[in-house]
Amino acid sequence: MIEMPCRDWLQNYRRDTFTSDLVAAVIVTIMLIPQSLAYALLAGLPAEMGLYASILPLVAYAIFGTSRTLSVGPVAVVSLMTATAVGKVSQSGGVDYATAAVTLALLSGALLALLGLARFGFVTNFLSHPVVSGFITASGILIALSQLRHIFGVQASGETLPALLSSLLPALGDVNLPTLGIGLFSLLFLQGCRSSLGPYLLRLGLTKGAATLITKAAPVAAIALTTLIAFALGLEATGVALVGAIPQGLPAFSVPVVSPELLEALFLPALLIALIGFVESVSVGRTLGAKRGERIDPNQELIGLGAANIASAASGGFPVTGGFSRSVVNFDAGAKTQAASIMTAIGIALTALFLTPALYYLPKATLAATIIVAVSTLIDWRIFKEAWRYDIADFGAVTVTLVMTLGFGVELGVISGVTTSIALHLYRTMRPHFAIVGTVPDTEHYRNVNRHNVVTHKNILSIRIDESLYFANAAFLEELVYSEQAKKPDVEHVILMCPAVNSIDLSALEALHEINRYLSERKITLHLSEVKGPVMDALQRSHFLEQLAGKVYLRHHAAVQELARL
Amino acid sequence: MIEMPCRDWLQNYRRDTFTSDLVAAVIVTIMLIPQSLAYALLAGLPAEMGLYASILPLVAYAIFGTSRTLSVGPVAVVSLMTATAVGKVSQSGGVDYATAAVTLALLSGALLALLGLARFGFVTNFLSHPVVSGFITASGILIALSQLRHIFGVQASGETLPALLSSLLPALGDVNLPTLGIGLFSLLFLQGCRSSLGPYLLRLGLTKGAATLITKAAPVAAIALTTLIAFALGLEATGVALVGAIPQGLPAFSVPVVSPELLEALFLPALLIALIGFVESVSVGRTLGAKRGERIDPNQELIGLGAANIASAASGGFPVTGGFSRSVVNFDAGAKTQAASIMTAIGIALTALFLTPALYYLPKATLAATIIVAVSTLIDWRIFKEAWRYDIADFGAVTVTLVMTLGFGVELGVISGVTTSIALHLYRTMRPHFAIVGTVPDTEHYRNVNRHNVVTHKNILSIRIDESLYFANAAFLEELVYSEQAKKPDVEHVILMCPAVNSIDLSALEALHEINRYLSERKITLHLSEVKGPVMDALQRSHFLEQLAGKVYLRHHAAVQELARL
């Protein structure tokens, strides 16, 4: 059954909710117009595709998504990933660039929806916090660099840091000065508004809401200003790149026809876009939901974002997801339900219908400036410091992700980040913590002989293992027992104390068999103690307990008492 | 520093050790002659390469290896992997088949030695017991099937079960009856010797040693018999495929010249051959070593096997590793040191010098029969039954490995097996076991409320987590706390009891931050209890403890006593 979470809020929809939602929708629409155009530019697509990706996807998410305030549409990182994926395919495969982007949205949407329907939301858990952070920071750097060509008005391209730099630097000789003027003006204007306008307006006595509204409208002001300048000064003739003619009207609704070869080539990029987009979106949704006590259902979120992407593909758009800054603005502006998103979609539709002729003279440098200012917040080095101090494995994962993304592009970046974090996790559990334990005098407690004053017996070796036993640490366990036994020549009994062993897999069971055989050949008896219930259940389904030379004791103390007496 | 474990046994070498080693060497040589020829055939290589791979590699391992009784040389599974890898490259790359096999040995040897020098032996821990078992069984099936064409005297090829069957079945119409006669005779003769000869000889009053020697010589007898038959009856003219002319003499020592493209194409197969060969070899070495109290050093083993493969490449051979049946025979025949292997190498060298003309009339069907009988012991279905009963995840891993190896060949088989076992392990730790706990009356013990009669407090929620916290279960932890808290509306304090939490990574720390924030917004305080020493050390390096609304208690009971009073 496909659920429609929109029923909940539709049933209790009231007039005052409508007013709140309308105000939020107006603010988000004003914010979304430049963003949608800019991210289409970033993805290498015609401007109108940005608008198309901001109409139906919002409606689809409003119906199927679980967050009431998430604002869906084109976002920076996913647009960069789209540019990379589509660039590769259209270079080699001979398909139209725009068709490939639409197909990517369709495939990505289908994967999201399938993962959601199969309740496979857990796969996103493999994207660890350091990997996502490192990836976002690296993407922010790549995005900002990729937009510098529009600021300088030169030809350059590339999907990695070395490629971007080696393409951009030699091209700087051909800089177009009017373009650079527009670009720098936009950058300074936007950055100035972002850092100073809000506080200034508040000092003037405006409410926080009004100040936010005006601040968030800065990109629209930049667009209006630079469009007027470009028109009035006839900058097109001086070589300033303009957005140009945008088809007027709503997107035609169509089912994309795709070839199996294209689907195969786009499969991996679509999956990565789906996963990264989902992780980003859910983290925004969760944060906002927590503030109002609304719960996000990850599997239903997958379906909601899947529907949004399929809707984007069906209406000529490209991959979308929940945007961070836009959703926060939507929330702060008072949006109560997804009706705000539906009204935003109407706002963008009206823009597509009536405002596109006005965008003819909009300089691309202005859009590039809005992108650069927006992604500068993505670049965050604190995670490196934090990881460095906290855990070397996490630092390794974030560094590998950053370096690989910058050096080899977004796809290899994500893949190597995930691989590294899994490998480091396994490496950690491969050499589990253990302790040789003895009795704390006059108690039944057992502690590490190296840290506490404890009593041990000459004929007993008690080893406590602080990790589940599985294939990756099975060999370690064998070596551990053999080397500890070799250190204690008078040992007659080895007791493995297992209170922190949450599972024993077949490889570890094989190792226990081997240890039992090895010790038996040396006239030493292997025992287990404090085996947890589920682990004991599993052992009883094997032949191990029949072959175990010693016993399984419920309490370690009982084992030591019995064996010390012998 | 590269160690030479041979020093140990060389220093104390005595005359009676020499006698033991010589007897073992004679037996192993008799066993190795047909094996080396047969595995060269299996790898698709000329017969002499089998002999070359059985001379210098044995000497190299004798110098650098740590097992005193391991017998190195061509083995079935590695030969199959060689055939697959080399077949792919020589089909597409236009390089000579034999050159590619030599390069594969060189690359595989270099990788083994590097892994050993870097002390990276632990990577082989990723090959879990079910994956190795499933892979060996599938390889045994593929090997036996691939040899049927020699028994029937038809043309067929393929590296997967469907390819082998669809190539072999239509070809059966062209069966060569004299070849089939030789093949079936050899199969029946070998299988008969294997199952009945030993017990029969023992009943005749022979010693166990003599019976073993004669039984293990059965393949040599089969070779002698069928060679004579082929010669006497002039079977070459009837279309029986013979081994034919083998160059007489020792291999020329040469440094293989290799192209970067060939190295790149062979890198992954070489790595897989290195890992599988190492795992097989070490498990034999460990088993035999355990019987005599000799220890195997995995990192030095990597160097030993690496040296053996480099030696194989330098003398025109193909990838080698420690063989199971051969090493067991060597051990049982009384080999005490690697001097036995050096004498075996001399035996094979003498064969290459003087006996090759006698092998001209040897039918390939006889060699195929020795392979089929040998690999029949590799096929072992017990692991399926055992895994099914013991643990569904292990069953999944062994099944995926078997099906993928049979269906898509050895390389994809190993890779998907490893991936599956890692994924299933992570999946298990992704939804860790947990318990809501309460006080066992009149004690300080805390147990699961669902299993024991315990006392709880209305304002306290105590959750015990039985797993280390890391990125894969961070989201689960958040959901768990939120849903348990929602079930208990009067809760003022949530205590996470962490006695089985062996580590907390940065992603899980982020989740704890989030939980702390979420609960604080609801006027609920988060506390921790029984945090292990190393985990506490890590938390102190982060900002978490400053932001934690509640406290960290050493003992859970202290927490409950203090918070219940409030």
Residue A389, chain B, CB below 8 Å: the answer is: yes
Q: Which residue, chain included where needed, has tokens 């971007």? A: A164
Buried b (16+ CB within 10 A) or exposed e, B279-318: bbbbbbbbbbbbeeeeebbbbbbbbbbbbbbbbbbbbbbb
A136: distance to nearest CA of chain B, Å? 15
- Other CB atoms within a 10 A radius of the CB of residue B444 amount to 12
Residues from chain A that touch B470, judged by Cβ atoms under 8 A, are 128, 425
Q: Which residue, chain included where needed, has tokens 């020499």? A: B18
Residue B476, chain A, CB below 8 Å: the answer is: yes
First to last CA, chain A: 65
Closest residue on chain B to A504 (Cα): B391
Q: Distance between CA B304 and CA B293 in Å, rounded? A: 20
From A125, A432, A503, residue closest to B430, measured CB to CB: A125
DSSP B258: -
For Cα atoms A219, A357, A341, give the angle at the middle one, nearest 5 degrees.
Answer: 55
What tens digit of pLDDT does each residue of A287-338 get?
888 777 777 888 999 999 999 999 999 999 999 999 988 898 888 888 999 9
One-letter identity of residue A301: E
Query: Do A295 and B482 count as a contact with CB atoms less than 8 A apart?
Result: yes
- pLDDT > 70 in chain A, percent: 99
Closest residue on chain B to A398 (Cα): B506
Q: Which residue, chain included where needed, has tokens 């003619």? A: A245
Portion 224-243 of A in contact with B at CB < 8 A: none
Half-sphere exposure of B549 (CA within 13 A, CB side): 19
Q: Are B220 and B30 in contact (CB under 8 A)?
A: yes
Which two tokens mark B543?
């900002």
Which two tokens mark A91?
């270079």
Residue B519, chain A, CB below 8 Å: the answer is: no
Residues from chain B that touch A468, judged by Cβ atoms under 8 A, are 429, 467
3-state secondary structure of A73: strand
Query: Do B506 and A295 count as a contact with CB atoms less than 8 A apart?
Result: no
B140: distance to nearest CA of chain A, Å? 21
Provide ipTM, 2 decimals: 0.80
For Cα atoms B235, B47, B166, give the angle at the middle one, nearest 5 degrees.
Answer: 75
3-state secondary structure of A500: coil
A538: distance to nearest CA of chain B, Å? 6
- Taking Cα atoms as reference points, which of B154, B153, B144, B147 lies closest to residue B180? B153
Residue B510, chain A, CB below 8 Å: the answer is: yes
Q: Distance between CA B189 and CA B179 in Å, rounded? A: 15
Q: Distance between CA A331 and CA A511 in Å, rounded? A: 56
Which two tokens mark A247?
């088809």
Query: Do A390 and B506 count as a contact with CB atoms less than 8 A apart?
Result: yes
Q: Distance between CA A89 and CA A78 in Å, rounded? A: 16
- Number of alpha helices (DSSP H) and beta strands (DSSP E) in chain A: 25, 8
Closest residue on chain B to A292 (Cα): B521
Which two tokens mark B39?
């595995």
The DSSP bridge pattern shows strands B434-439 and B460-465 to be antiparallel
Q: How many CB pairs under 8 A join A and B?
A: 150
- Taking Cα atoms as reference points, which of A399, A426, A423 lies closest to residue A413? A399
Cα dist. B355→A233, B242, B250, B351, B436 in Å?
95, 16, 12, 5, 76
Q: Distance between CA A323 and CA A139 in Å, rounded? A: 15
pLDDT for residue A332: 84
Q: Which residue, chain included where needed, has tokens 């490496």? A: A427
pLDDT for residue B391: 87
A103: distance to nearest CA of chain B, Å? 29
Per-residue pLDDT band for A429 (boundaries 50, 70, 90) equals confident
Query: Do A506 and B122 count as a contact with CB atoms less than 8 A apart?
Result: no
Residue A205 contacts by C-beta under 8 Å, 6 or more apart in sequence? none
Query: Do A473 and B532 count as a contact with CB atoms less than 8 A apart?
Result: no
Which two tokens mark A238?
């001086």
Q: What is the mean pLDDT of chain A?
A: 90
Which two tokens mark A460?
């007993």
pLDDT for residue B261: 84
DSSP B359: G
**What is the secondary structure of B215-255 as a DSSP string?**
HHTHHHHHHHHHHHHHHHTTGGGGT--B------SPPPP-P
Residue A429, chain B, CB below 8 Å: the answer is: yes
Query: Do A427 and B122 count as a contact with CB atoms less than 8 A apart?
Result: yes
B385: distance to nearest CA of chain A, Å? 10
The DSSP bridge pattern shows strands A446-448 and A434-439 to be antiparallel
Q: Are A103 and A342 in contact (CB under 8 A)?
A: no
Residue A382, chain B, CB below 8 Å: the answer is: no
Helix/strand/coil (H, E, C) string of B285-302? Answer: HHHHHHHHCCCCCHHHHH
Q: Distance between CA B131 and CA B129 in Å, rounded? A: 5
Residues from chain A that touch B503, judged by Cβ atoms under 8 A, are 428
Strand residues in B388-535 grouped as ranges (E): 434-439, 446-448, 460-465, 493-497, 525-529
Domain ranges of chain B: 14-127+178-361, 434-565
Closest residue on chain B to A498 (Cα): B500
pLDDT for residue B189: 95
Residue B482, chain A, CB below 8 Å: the answer is: yes
Q: Distance between CA B477 and CA B519 in Å, rounded? A: 13
pLDDT for residue A93: 58
Q: Are B552 and B545 in contact (CB under 8 A)?
A: yes
DSSP A376: T
Q: Distance between CA A91 and CA B85 in Å, rounded? A: 31
Q: Distance between CA B346 and CA B29 in Å, rounded? A: 9
Q: Are A306 and A114 in contact (CB under 8 A)?
A: yes
pLDDT for residue A343: 96
Residues from chain A that touch B546, judged by Cβ atoms under 8 A, are none
The alpha helices in B499-555, defined as continuous H runs, are: 506-521, 533-540, 544-547
Portion 286-315 of A in contact with B at CB < 8 A: 286, 290-291, 293, 295, 298
Closest residue on chain B to A128 (Cα): B471
- pLDDT > 90 in chain A, percent: 57
Q: Which residue, chain included where needed, has tokens 């070796």? A: A461
Query: Do B425 and A473 count as a contact with CB atoms less than 8 A apart?
Result: no
Residue A388, chain B, CB below 8 Å: the answer is: no
In this structure, the dihedral spanned by the alpha carbons of residues B74, B77, B79 and B85, taken in order and rounded to 10 degrees, is: -140
B431: distance to nearest CA of chain A, Å? 10
Q: Distance between CA B54 and CA B35 in Å, rounded? A: 10
The alpha helices in A97-176, defined as continuous H runs, are: 97-117, 129-152, 161-171
Q: Which helix (H) or strand (E) holds B484?
A: helix B471-487
Give the residues of chain B that fall short of pLDDT 70.
1, 92-94, 566
Q: Distance between CA B527 and CA B257 in Å, rounded? A: 65
Which two tokens mark A547?
């072959």
- pLDDT at A94 > cutoff 70: no
Q: Distance between CA B366 and CA B221 in Å, rounded? A: 11
One-letter identity of residue B66: T
From B295, B421, B538, residue closest to A391, measured CB to CB: B538
A interface mutation test: which of B129, B286, B421 has the most A CBs within 10 A?
B129
- Taking Cα atoms as reference points, which of A69, A75, A62, A90 lies closest to residue A5? A62
Q: Distance between CA A463 and CA A382 in Å, rounded? A: 40
Query: Do A506 and B290 count as a contact with CB atoms less than 8 A apart?
Result: no
Q: Are A298 and A282 in contact (CB under 8 A)?
A: yes
Query: Do B542 and A389 count as a contact with CB atoms less than 8 A apart?
Result: yes
pLDDT for residue A520: 92
Residues from chain B that touch A514, judged by Cβ atoms under 8 A, are 286, 290
Q: Are B229 and B223 in contact (CB under 8 A)?
A: no
**What is the secondary structure of A300-369 as a DSSP string?**
HHHHHHHHHHHHHHHTT----EE-HHHHHHHHHTT--STHHHHHHHHHHHHIIIIIGGGGTT-BHHHHHH
Q: Are B270 and B70 in contact (CB under 8 A)?
A: no
pLDDT for residue B259: 82
Residue A554, chain B, CB below 8 Å: the answer is: no
B interface mutation test: which of A434, A466, A506, A514 has the most B CBs within 10 A?
A506
Which of A108-112, A517-521, B562-566 bottoms out in mean pLDDT, i.e. has the lowest?
A: B562-566
A interface mutation test: which of B398, B419, B503 has the most A CBs within 10 A?
B503
Residues from chain A that touch B291, judged by Cβ atoms under 8 A, are 521
- Taking Cα atoms as reference points, which of B450, B555, B453 lies closest to residue B499? B555
Half-sphere exposure of A397 (CA within 13 A, CB side): 32
- Taking Cα atoms as reference points, which of B75, B48, B46 lies closest to residue B371? B75
Q: Distance between CA A243 and CA B71 in Å, rounded? A: 73
- pLDDT at A366 > cutoff 70: yes
Q: Which overall architecture, per CATH, does domain A434-565 show? A: 2-Layer Sandwich (3.30)
- pLDDT at A123 > cutoff 90: no
**What is the secondary structure of A162-225 as a DSSP string?**
HHHHHHHHHHGGG--HHHHHHHHHHHHHHHHIIIIIHHHHHHTT--HHHHHHHHHTHHHHHHHH
- pLDDT at A566 > cutoff 70: no
Query: Do A509 and B390 count as a contact with CB atoms less than 8 A apart?
Result: yes
Residue B391, chain A, CB below 8 Å: the answer is: yes
A interface mutation test: which of B471, B531, B535 has the most A CBs within 10 A?
B471
In this structure, the dihedral spanned by the alpha carbons of residues A503, A509, A512 and A513, taken in order and rounded to 10 degrees, is: 160
Q: Are B142 and B157 in contact (CB under 8 A)?
A: no
Residue B97, chain A, CB below 8 Å: the answer is: no
3-state secondary structure of B553: strand
Residues from chain A that touch B434, judged by Cβ atoms under 8 A, are none
Q: Are B389 and A541 in contact (CB under 8 A)?
A: yes
The residue among B428 and A457 whose pLDDT is bigger is A457
